[in-house]
Chain A
Amino acid sequence: QVQLVESGGGLVKPGGSLRLSCAASGFTFSDYYMSWIRQAPGKGLEWVSYISSSGSTIYYADSVKGRFTISRDNAKNSLYLQMNSLRAEDTAVYYCARDPKGDYGMDVWGQGTTVTVSS
């Protein structure tokens, strides 16, 4: 079945780094745009980053620009989010999501991975 599984979350100190992964299965990963979305504890959803099917087009929210890097490996059916210079306000559940048309209409979501930034 169509599935996205995130991994790589954990506890990290402010200023530290973390790399999230999202493993896709059940569909042709290379055909789809993908996004990362996060949700701080008790808060709403926040779009973080977007990558086109080929990886040639990438966008970031202002809140993470210059600190986070999205990438994908279509041969491995995997999406990544490299997070550097982490701040307390980056603490959240991070979801990866499939975006069939690249218009932020995200039809498949993973279960999320939790990132906690704290000293």
Chain B
Amino acid sequence: QSALTQPASVSGSPGQSITISCTGTSSDVGSYNLVSWYQQHPGKAPKLMIYEVSKRPSGVSNRFSGSKSGNTASLTISGLQAEDEADYYCCSYAGSRGVFGGGTKLTVL
């Protein structure tokens, strides 16, 4: 059960936009519009930021957006803020299992 592929790290300056990719296969990301994204600060539990590819839970800033093309999903954070510095994980429905990406460390310069 291979994990989804994410870049290990990305960085950006305050106010800029960044995009984190999440590449899977035709058995997971490519087959279902059921990709979610989680933010995790050090020592804390993950927090749901995006579900069903592009939907935002109540209370999540509209600076966070999601999309998908083929086997790759993406999370875009616009207007970067210091508090966005965290680890980000994608997760895809794959039928009888869930599969996470390896995680991306976002550094706000």
A, B bound: yes
- A44 near B3: Cβ-Cβ < 8 Å: yes
- A104 near B102: Cβ-Cβ < 8 Å: no
User: What 0/1 readout, one digit per residue, does chain B (30-54) give for beta carbons within 8 Å of chain A?
Assistant: 0010101010100001111001100
Determine how close the nearest CB of chain B comes to the CB of A43; give it in whole angstroms: 8
- A35 near B98: Cβ-Cβ < 8 Å: yes
Contacts of B96 in A (CB 8 A): 59
- B34 near A103: Cβ-Cβ < 8 Å: yes
Contacts of B47 in A (CB 8 A): 109
- A47 near B91: Cβ-Cβ < 8 Å: yes
- B89 near A104: Cβ-Cβ < 8 Å: no
Q: A9 interface residue, CB < 8 Å from B?
A: no
The contact of A47 among B40, B57, B100, B103, by CB within 8 Å, is: B100
Determine how close the nearest CB of chain A comes to the CB of B59; give it in whole angstroms: 11
The contact of B38 among A45, A62, A111, by CB within 8 Å, is: A45
User: What 0/1 readout, one digit per residue, does chain A (103-114) give for beta carbons within 8 Å of chain B?
Assistant: 111110111100
